[in-house]
Amino acid sequence: MAASVPENQKIDVTLETKFNAAFAEVAEALKPTLYEWIDEPQGVICFVPDETAYFKWRSEHRMTIGELEKHEWTKGDDFIVDFGGHRVGYLAFHLGAVGVNIDAPCRLRLVFGEVPTDVAEDLHPCNTWISTSWLPDETINVDWLPTDVSLPRRSSFRYVRIQVLDNGPKFRVTFSRLRATAVSAVGPSAPVPALPLVDAQLRAIDAAAMHTLRDCMHTVFEDGPRRDRRLWLGDLRLQALTNYASFAHFALVKRCLYLFAAVPRTNASLPACVYEFPALRGASDYIVDYDALFGVTLAEYVSASGDLETGRALWETALGSMRGPLAHIDPDTHRFIGARTSAWKFCDWAEELHTDASMHGVVLLSCKKLNALASQLFPDAPPPFAGDVARMMAGAQGFLREEEGQEPLFVSGPDAQVSWASAAWLSLSSAFHAPLAKRALLAALAHPAAVRPLTPYCFHHVAEALAVVGAERECVALVREYWGGMLAAGADTFWECFDPLDARRSPYGDCHNNSYCHAWSCTPSYLLRVVLRDWFEKEGMTLR
């Protein structure tokens, strides 16, 4: 069955942008200069079928780079170079020729792979509802040989498959000096505080999370350097939190906040993502929970950086971004009702997820965070959402199901759906006392019919919620199982989505259009370095 566009992706009305040129100028002044460094491939490999491997492919050594440079290739030949780890950058090589005459161009196809399936399988046909122009393959024609070839398009990859599609009958081609010019807003040796843990698996998870974040940091915090290569609000918040505990690139967070503030819509809502090129503009996408998270991201930035000036400058933007989310609060029950508008409520890519309970937690948390920010910025003024918080705290009781002899559960929708997302967001918002929230959250995780997350975005919120309610041990176990599971499956950087039982699972219909270095996966470093820090110390797991 052909993949079809989900209903929440179909946009009927796009509001006009109320462009703020002053904020755009601030953002432009904060654009970072990117670091560059050279990476070289480690060897030439091939992939062979292996049913025991997560992706059903196993790599085998084929030849050294020195042997590659001496090898001659012709029409129909191909090889895969392995750079030994993920990077984002620009491929270059020297294309030589051996023969009587160079009597025709050389046509090459290059496939950039983040994971084995990218280069071991054909990318086409691709049954996906998002554009196949994202697929990481390029066909180039080189007219005059020998020559240096530099690809102008930035790629995100560990592997590169090079196929000789055609060349003249009187010559063969050679490849030498293969290299990648890697780029990021932080260099490969950027100082990061050491993770004071003795546990080898957790240290490996932290290292992969740092690698993920670095490869997503460019002139904005990109959601994924392969796809979509742009700034999304929900992703930004998680990247920013992890950044504060690692690279501490406060200017990049500030730039991203100003980019969003520069493109509000006429009803004061913010687009779910923004485009930098060819000129700054807000996307037509609108996600209610992302709108609500702008104020949260601003509050956390001010808290981490001490930059009260930016907090005051963007205060009205934050207030405006709460209008749409709060419009979903029922005036009688004081609960979030998604059906009040047709706008997209995300929370996770799990198709069957009912989002009302999760969204109630998101909006409640946002109100509380903005009240706290207001107390910093305007200490003599009353908190702007005090009444909303009181009403929503009372309304949250409608999502609680307590039955005699059973553990409490947070439920959502007319069918009283149990999901990890509902339990996570209601716990994070402190809608209930921690002991009750802990019982309900653990009950959801153990419930056989509960809707599980698909994305690391939602898994992060589940993990953080576990720590917040006092289930730190379970939080660590989840980090080991989920992000450690990605490492065991061969990840260099953490992925957009991960199903331990199905390597081909995709929100878009085809795993070849998945991203395998994705921003919302970077948060184990935040969890390990900040959220769980005191617990690790208490448990004696830290280095002395």
Question: What mean pLDDT do residues 281-295 have?
Answer: 98
Q: Is residue 393 classed as helix, strand or coil in its secondary structure?
A: helix
Domain 7-34+186-538 of CATH type 1.50.10.10: yes
Helices (H), 408-455: 420-428, 434-446
Type of residue at 535: W
Quick: pLDDT tens for 325-336: 999 999 999 999
What integer pLDDT is reported at residue 544 of this predicted model? 59
What integer pLDDT is reported at residue 8 of this predicted model? 77
Quick: pLDDT tens for 406-443: 999 999 999 999 999 999 999 999 999 999 999 999 99
Angle, helices 356-377 vs 288-305, to 10°: value is: 30
Q: Which of 240, 202, 204, 207 is nearest to 221 (CA)?
A: 240
- Do 269 and 14 meet the contact criterion of CB atoms below 8 Å apart? no
Per-residue confidence band for 490, with pLDDT thresholds at 50, 70 and 90? very high
Question: What mean pLDDT do residues 349-376 have?
Answer: 98
CATH class of this structure's domain 35-184: mainly beta
Percent helix, strand and coil across the chain, each rounded to 5?
40, 20, 40
Per-residue confidence band for 3, with pLDDT thresholds at 50, 70 and 90? confident
**Cα–Cα distance measured from residue 189 to residue 185, given in angstroms and rounded to the nearest whole number:** 12
pLDDT > 90? residue 384: yes
**Domain range annotation of the chain:** 7-34+186-538, 35-184
Quick: pLDDT tens for 35-59: 999 999 999 999 999 999 999 999 9
Burial pattern 210-227, b for ≥16 Cβ within 10 A else e, equals: bbbbbbbbbbbbbbbbbb
> Which residue would you say has higher pLDDT here, 544 or 281?
281
The helix or strand, by DSSP H or E, that contains position 326, with its residue range, turns out to be helix 323-326
What's the pTM value of the predicted model, to 2 decimals? Answer: 0.97
Average pLDDT, the chain: 97
pLDDT > 80? residue 10: no
Q: Is residue 412 classed as helix, strand or coil in its secondary structure?
A: strand
Quick: pLDDT tens for 493-529: 999 999 999 999 999 999 999 999 999 999 999 999 9
What integer pLDDT is reported at residue 1 of this predicted model? 62
Quick: pLDDT tens for 110-127: 999 999 999 999 999 999
Question: What mean pLDDT do residues 210-237 have?
Answer: 98
Question: What one-character-per-residue DSSP string does 296-320 give?
Answer: HHHHHHHHHH--HHHHHHTHHHHHH
Per-residue confidence band for 240, with pLDDT thresholds at 50, 70 and 90? very high
**Cα–Cα distance measured from residue 198 to residue 539, given in angstroms and rounded to the nearest whole number:** 12
pLDDT > 80? residue 444: yes
Query: What percentage of the chain exceeds 90 in pLDDT?
Result: 96
Burial pattern 57-84, b for ≥16 Cβ within 10 A else e, equals: bbbeebeebeebbeeebeeeeebbbbbe
Helices (H), 8-123: 21-29, 65-70, 116-120
